[in-house]
Structure 1
Amino acid sequence: MPESTSFPATYEGVRLLVKHLRGPDGCPWDREQTPESLKHLLLEECYELIEAIEDDDSDKIVEELGDVFLHLALQIQIGTEAGRFSGERVFDGMVDKYVRRHPHVFGDAKMEDVSEAVPRWDALKRQELEGSTKSILDGLPKGMPALSYARAVQDRAARMGFDWEDYRGVVDKVAEELRELNDAESPEERESEMGDLLFSVVNASRWLGAEAETALRLSNRRFYNRFTTMERLCRERDQSFKDLPLDSKEQLWEEAKAIEKG
């Protein structure tokens, strides 16, 4: 049985590890996996990495980076076994793409300021799309979290000149969508108008320089922390949270907020 030292702490070591796991002397579970079966696990690992980054936990970041990297290596190994592509093809395409999109680093183009980066990047991508029927939005995976996808399509549309002239227009649009939601009558209309409202709120977030997905995730965390604090306080006081009147729950909420602030 190979020891951990049989696999060097490099990408080649990870590749050999994954190849062994999927080999005849490896793990039955790993051998049975497909790109499709691993999708949700890869997504889960990415979210765990994001959480570690937000917690600023270096040890956890290292662990979660390893988990994500293992999943990427698994996808490459499965593709290699099926004869669909190789690791070399993945890396060759990646290197070629990013060298091509950084002519100010690897070519004669000049970039004096970081503010030039995004317009330059967009111009290069538009050049790549010339003669194609693809949209500037087509590179975005539709399976992204909805708030992140909304922000991404808004960013790309704005860089093509399709945007509000000022923040006042953005705020007015949010108010308009809220009115339309209030006026909606059927469940289908309410769902549609709620989507439009959320889209406009994401746009407002973009104008404020905030990331809606991150903002909502942090709000979720604050709610979780405060709610679990309320539950803990009730246990300590031998109270049933569920049976408390609403005004008592609101008092507990304020107490939990005060505890959170320290």
Structure 2
Amino acid sequence: MGASTTAGSNGVNDVEVAAGFASSAGIVAGGDGGFAGAAEVENPSGVEGSCRIERRGASARERAASPTDHPAFNQFVATIAALRAPDGCPWDREQTHESIAHNMIEEAYEAVDAIEARDTAHLREELGDVLLQVVLQSQIAADAGEFDIDDVCVDVNAKMVRRHPHVFGEATAANASEVLDLWDKVKLAERGSAGSADPGAGAVGSAEADGSGGANGPSRREGLLDGVPTSFPALMQAQKVSRKAAAAGFEWDALDDVWEKVFEEIGELKEAYAAAPKAANGKVDASVALARASDAHVSVEAGERDGSAPASAVSGSGYAGASIDPVSASGCAVASASGRVADAELGFGSAVGSDQDPAIGSESAVEFGFGRVSSPDPSADAVAAVELELGDVLFSLVNVARRMGVDAESALRATCAKFRSRWAAMEAAAAAQGRRIEELSASEQESLWEDAKRRL
């Protein structure tokens, strides 16, 4: 954590806020902007927990200035350190950051499940499991000489003070929405501070400029969106990256503008779907177009053998008037007499010429039973276009949620939970009739669904 002093767009100097609060609270500021320690809090009654009760009416600064002791936490840290000791647990000693990384995700999801189920007792247990991952990862780092749990606490404490200038500084925020706007400004200031602390971070050498990088060249400056993990669930990632972009000024003027974008993207999705090859059940399927092309080629070969059709004409294939080379032709592009690939309408788009610029696109080779194909595959491109357009619709809707102040990930999770509870009610109703849900007709299922909706 750098100690550079930068004033954010809110006019608040982050480090001065943290340092100023530390001083007023009787906390010693650490060398890099953190908090190295605090005076012990007296407990006049001598009863464990009473100090915590008395502090309920205390102000924010009073609470921060008088931290309570946490002996149970200290003991837990000592227990994990013991497990990693040479004579501790063989399994714990073998663990690395990477070997237990998945546990962090699993435990976090289980804690969220307990929260959504309003299961307080289970939540207490799951939060302990999450804490275990934090402490164990910190102990692994401590054993490697990287950092320890105290460093983690120092850093996150300083971050919380820095990102709450409306509590510990002179900034103001009248409501939660204004707090979110303030956070975005502070984060941008932090990013600028991090960049200025590393003079080489913004420089771009020739190796990096041409995309080749370089072992000794300057590192690339961290982009605005680099701080959002790509491993996040897609809805969460979409809302976070769009929020960061909006904080930098890349934003619609009004919510109505976002809705207009949603409708535009829905139109493009419908167009892409109409142009894509589809199976009988309506699902997009590139193999359908390839199968049709294969069937057309087989009929041409049969016609050539019995003389009923010349090689220069393909009846009903969409390739009329074009010559077919059994070795190089594909269901996506047709070779003409000049050797170039002609545009061939397949009902879902036109083929791309084989003499295309390699920088624009490359040709794919596909093995069929009638020979090797070397050509672009517009059917696969058409299917991919549907997926991309659907993604654009979802991304636009996430921006609607962001502008409304709704968390898209939480909203969809709530809808999933609602659907599951209603479906469970339908299954229970069917079981009460001595039947399974899949044995009911569509109208019977719809009746149970409407009943579940009225009750849940």
User: Do both share a fold (TM > 0.5)?
Assistant: yes
Instruction: Find the residue that maps to 1:35 and give its secondary structure.
Output: coil
Q: Distance in 1 between matches of 2:258 and 2:166?
A: 35
* Closer, same or farther: CA 208–20 of 1 in aligned 2, 3 Å: same
Matches within 5 A, 1:24-103: 24=86, 26-103=88-165
1:111 aligns with one of 172, 192, 195: 172
What is residue 3 of structure 1 aligned with on the other side? none
Q: Deviations over 1:213-255 (max 9, x none)?
A: 0111011111111112222222221113212211111111112
Give deviations 1:4-52, integer Å, cap 9, x for gaps. Answer: xxxx852211112212333455444433332222222211211222222
Answer with 147-156 or 127-136: which moved more: 127-136
Q: 1:116 to 1:192 in 2, by over 3 A?
A: closer
The structural deviation recorded for 1:110 is: 4.0
Of 249, 256, 261, which residue of structure 1 is paired with 2:452?
Answer: 256
CA distance in 2, matches of 1:88, 1:230: 52
How many angstroms apart in 2 are the aligned matches of 1:219 and 1:118?
25
Does the 8 Å CA contact 2:185/2:247 hold for their aligned counterparts? no
Q: What corresponds to 2:388 in structure 1?
A: 192
- 5 Å-filtered alignment, 1:203-218, equals 203-218=399-414
Structure 1 residue aligned with 2:74: 12
> Residue 442 of structure 2 corresponds to which residue in structure 1?
246
Separation (CA, whole Å) in 1 of partners of 2:181 and 2:191: 15
RMSD between aligned residues: 2.3
**Counterparts in 2 of 1:229 and 1:145: CA distance versus 1, 3 Å:** same
Amino acid aligned to 2:190: E
Deviates more, 1:209-218 or 1:31-40: 31-40
Q: 1 CA distance for matches of 2:431 and 2:162? A: 60
Residues 119/225 of structure 1: CA separation in 2 closer, same or farther (3 Å cut): closer
Structure 1 alignment gaps of length 5 or more: 1-7
Length-normalised TM-score, structure 1: 0.85
Q: 1:247 to 1:194 in 2, by over 3 A?
A: same
AA paired with 1:90? V
Residues 52 and 165 of structure 1: is their aligned pair in 2 closer, same or farther, counting only changes over 3 Å?
Answer: same
Q: Deviations over 1:73-114 (max 9, x none)?
A: 11111111222222232223223333344455555x343634
Q: 1:249 to 1:100 in 2, by over 3 A?
A: closer
Q: 2:397 matched to 1:201?
A: yes
> CA 1:54 to 1:129, structure 2 compared with 1: closer, same or farther past 3 Å?
same
User: C-alpha offsets along residues 123-178 of structure 1, whole Å, 9 cap, x if unaligned?
Assistant: 33333333453333222222111101111112222222221112221111111111
Percent identity between matched residues is 41
Q: Which amino acid aligns with 2:250?
A: F
- Alignment of 1:158 with 2:246, yes or no, is yes
The amino acid across from 1:113 in the alignment is A
Aligned twin of 1:5 = none
Q: Which residue of 2 aligns with 1:140?
A: 228
SS at match of 1:192: helix
Q: Is the contact between residue 173 and residue 179 of structure 2 (CA under 8 Å) also seen in structure 1?
A: no
Match of 1:232 in 2: 428
* Inter-CA distance 27–248: structure 2 relative to 1 (3 Å threshold): farther
- Please state which structure has a larger fraction of its residues in strand: 2
Distance 2:150 2:245 in 1: 34
Map Cα deviations across residues 48-85 of structure 1 (whole Å, 9 max, x no partner): 22222233332222222111111101111111122222
**Which amino acid is 2:222 matched to?**
K
Length, aligned pairs only: 252
Match of 2:183 in 1: 121
Query: Could you tell me how far apart the structure 1 residues matched to 2:95 and 2:383 are?
Result: 40
AA of the residue aligned to 1:144? F
CA distance in 2, matches of 1:230, 1:112: 47
Q: Which has the higher helix share?
A: 1
- Supply the distance in 1 between the matched residues of 2:423 and 2:183 (Cα, whole angstroms): 44
The letter of the residue matching 1:253 is W
Asked which structure has the greater CA Rg, the reply is 2
Q: Which residue of 2 aligns with 1:4?
A: none
Amino acid paired to 1:137: L
